Amino acid sequence: MFTISNTLICLLIFFGVLFVGYLLGRIKIKGIALGTSGIFIIAIVAGCIIPKESIDITTITKQLSNVGLALFITSVGFTAGPMFIQNFKSKAFKYIAISVIIIFSALGVAMLIYALDKDLDMPTVLGITMGAMTSTPGLSSNLAAFEDSADIIQTVNAIAYPFGVLGVCLFVQIVPKILRVNMKEEVEKISGPKEEKVEEEAGSEEKKMIKLDRLGIGVFSLAVVLGILVGALTIPGIKFQLTLTGGSLIVGLLFGHFKKIGRISLEVPKPTLKVLKEIGLAIFLACSGLSGGLKFIEYIQIYPIYFLYGALITFIPMLITFIIAKLFFKMELLNILGALTGGMTSTPALGALIEVADTDDVGSSYTSTYPFALFLLVLIPQILKMFV
């Protein structure tokens, strides 16, 4: 007979989800595998079947989700930092354009649905949109703009969110298969010159640098602290915040780019970043899936059509933007897909793309579109509120 507290039961479920999710992620169908996205699916299923009356898992998932997000996004920032400035300078217009095209394509699809379905109101259609774009800051902005409709906004957001996650993850995996690209060649197009020789020449200088610890955990922790503080800053008027994601991303980029302050090293070894990035993504996916699963079955039975609406708002903007970036901007495939994950504000999809491409360099494209997309998603509910 086992006697286990609610906290330990939650941890048992959480790590069980990770284990089974990784098993599911290894299964390949025609060369396509879910990878870490398998965790999200298993978490959704677990969330659906957990007896909410006897097991309270929401408290632990809310806190762990932020931990996972901070670990993953800060790691991406550190890794993308050395390439970000150069990559953004050469393609700044294209990245900003991609952000605008994605967000306004999504808004266009949403407004078309709003015009065709007379039962929809503006808060509801924006709730579906923020779920389809997996944007928590956008959801918060929508709730602030339409306070009287908070219940329906959160409900439809929960319905659209699962496909918003999985749809983008599958898109970045399926497109390279459809185009039959040589992934090694695609990686070489975006990776630029190797840094091994530079590192050898700088070896003697690195020995003189002051490091907090061998694994870089101290510096990484400092980056997370600063990321939280930067993300908490609010722009008056529109109540815009970069949030934990944006703050962690910016600080990670700065640390990764400058690498030092005087003789103090800001570098974190690549093996450490790789482990923290994987752990962070796994935690975030498990928590998001468990939280979403608790509501998904109940809500989709009431509003099944909203799941379809969300899927359309997720898929159509990606397709439109991909075609424009490929045919008119002439961008490299992995830069397009990385920019798409940022424009869709999809942290899990970035993880899936890194896994598919087997390089962290795609993170620089994600970081180039994410801030602009985030800003637009937060701003849109505030603007539309004036016309309703």
Q: What is the pLDDT of residues 278-301, one digit of tens each?
A: 999 899 889 888 887 877 877 888
Name which of 44-48, 166-170, 329-333 the model is least confident about: 44-48
In a domain, 181, yes or no: yes
Q: What's the length of the chain?
A: 388
In a domain, 199, yes or no: no
Contacts of 379 (CB under 8 A, 6+ apart): 141, 238, 240
- The strand pairing partners of 32, in sequence order, are 29
* CA terminus-to-terminus distance, the chain: 59
Check pLDDT > 80 for residue 235. no
In a domain, 192, yes or no: no
Query: Could you tell me the pLDDT band of residue 303, with boundaries at 50, 70 and 90?
Result: confident
Check pLDDT > 60 for residue 93. yes
Averaged confidence pLDDT in the chain:
87
- The pTM score is 0.82
In a domain, 306, yes or no: yes
Contacts of 108 (CB under 8 A, 6+ apart): none
Query: Which whole number is the average pLDDT over 20-43?
Result: 86
Stronger pLDDT, 305 or 262, i.e. the higher one: 305
Check pLDDT > 90 for residue 268. yes
Check pLDDT > 90 for residue 239. no
In a domain, 195, yes or no: no
- Tell me how many domains the chain contains: 1
Structural domain range at position 65: 6-187+207-385
In a domain, 194, yes or no: no
Query: Which whole number is the average pLDDT over 338-358?
Result: 91
Q: pLDDT tens digits for 102-126?
A: 999 999 999 999 999 999 999 999 9
In a domain, 219, yes or no: yes
In a domain, 314, yes or no: yes
